[in-house]
Amino acid sequence: MTLLALASMAVRPALEALAPLLRRPGAPVRIEAGGGVEVARRIRAGARADLAVLAADALAALHAEGLAERPRPLWVSRTVAAVAADAPPVALADTADLCALLRAADGVAHSTGPSGTALRALVERLGLAGEVRLVQAPPGVPAGRLLREGAATVAFQQHSELAALPGVRVLGPLPGDTAITSLFAAAVLTSAPAPGPARTLLGLLAAPEATAVAERHGMHPHGNGAT
């Protein structure tokens, strides 16, 4: 039997890098990644899968609805700003730099996931809602793709989703108290065809060895806090 793990795009690079480790439950593991909102919708629609790796708040909601066992926190991911690779250098040392970047942007791309929700709230908090044109990427589409397509000149998303995109240059995390981080967790689904091996898989994901690999793909150890 093949174990099926449903995951958000933000954790896909880490999970793919962890493939050798994830073979240890004694069964092949298949990963299907998509926009976090879409993955949660699939689970609510009755998708039969063994494990979900999503933003912690999304998994907490699924647990409250009886669709997932208690989530286990895994990793924290920072939201970063990015521009096209051939764009001029831009400073991002403090809030003033961030505000200048937002005001000068011809379109600010963000995702449908937690980083996008947090970015919209941040723009409101900075008093820039009337000055910034926000462009939401379709579910499952990296915000950085909108840079390459010319639909935006700045993109904000999880580091893991922007770092590997060709033609995109990451400026860095948001400065100071504008920083946006998201906690990702995993849970065995109550629909799991193989709950025992799925719980073994969950334990492997939470192990220090897995965290060390995930750190090389834009994640950070759980325990540093998240918003």
Q: Is residue 15 classed as helix, strand or coil in its secondary structure? A: helix
Distance CA 100, CA 8 (A): 31
Same domain, 101 and 170: yes
Same domain, 57 and 148: no
Same domain, 87 and 64: no
Type of residue found at 65: E
- pLDDT reported for residue 26: 64
Going by C-beta distance under 8 Å and a sequence separation of 6 or more, which residues neighbour residue 10?
Answer: 36, 55, 77, 113, 115, 157, 158, 160, 161, 182, 184
Separation of first and last alpha carbons in the chain: 37
- pLDDT reported for residue 58: 94
- pLDDT reported for residue 164: 76
Exposed / middle / buried, residue 53 (Cβ in 10 Å: 0-12, 13-18, 19+):
buried
pLDDT in tens, 7-33: 998 899 999 999 888 876 567 889 999
Residue 121 belongs to some domain of the structure: yes
Residue 194 belongs to some domain of the structure: yes
- Low-confidence stretches of the chain (pLDDT beneath 70): 24-26, 224-227
Same domain, 50 and 83: no
Same domain, 81 and 136: yes
Same domain, 146 and 111: yes
Question: Which token pair is 159?
Answer: 């580091």
CATH number at residue 122: 3.40.190.10
- Provide the pairing of β-strand 72-84 with 154-158: antiparallel
Going by C-beta distance under 8 Å and a sequence separation of 6 or more, which residues neighbour residue 183?
Answer: 55, 56, 73, 75, 76, 222, 226
- pLDDT reported for residue 226: 43
Residue 227 belongs to some domain of the structure: no
